[in-house]
Amino acid sequence: MSANVINVLFLCTGNSARSILAEALLNHWGRGQFKGYSAGSFPKGAVHPLALELLAQMHLPTAGLSSKSWDEFSRPGAPTMDFIFTVCDNAAGEVCPVWPGHPMTAHWGLPDPAAAVGNAAERMLAFREAFRILETRIRYFLTFQFKVLAREELQRNIEAAGKLAARVQ
């Protein structure tokens, strides 16, 4: 891990909703000690409008958020990632690029709010639920003692974080 900022990449297939929300949340809660990025294996090319609307409602910045390919982060000169989290089941099963620096990885899958059906309120509720789950996982992740934990224990912790905030019925 870098001495100053811990870089985290959130991956999804379309990079339009979950990974975008996670990027914004980590950049907010990481308070300059963490830098969040997002990308997709087959990016949609645009951030989902409800993701942008929700982030604005939550007073989180949306400037600079974009739907982009994960290839941008496997090229020379790209930021070296310390952690990579897949947030959708498709990206977890895909063959990922070889990441410089051998970052730690974990699957943090959750339902795709962009696939929600129903009226506007029901679709926004799906985005709010994804936001809540990601916020819980990210805030837990930020409590880890990164400089103290052995790599194996840190790996167990990041995997456990991906199981937090399962949908409550």
User: Which active-site residues does the annotation give?
Assistant: 12, 88, 96
Residue position matching structure tokens 């974990």: 106
* CA atoms lying within 13 Å on the CB side of residue 93: 3
Work out the number of other CB atoms within 10 angstroms of the CB of residue 98: 6
**Interacting residues of 80 by C-beta distance below 8 A, sequence separation 6+:** 2, 7, 100, 101, 103
In this structure, are residues 18 and 40 in contact, taking their beta carbons and an 8 Å threshold?
no
Return the DSSP state at 58: T
Sequence-distant (≥ 6) Cβ neighbours of residue 34 within 8 angstroms:
5, 6, 7, 8, 26, 27, 142
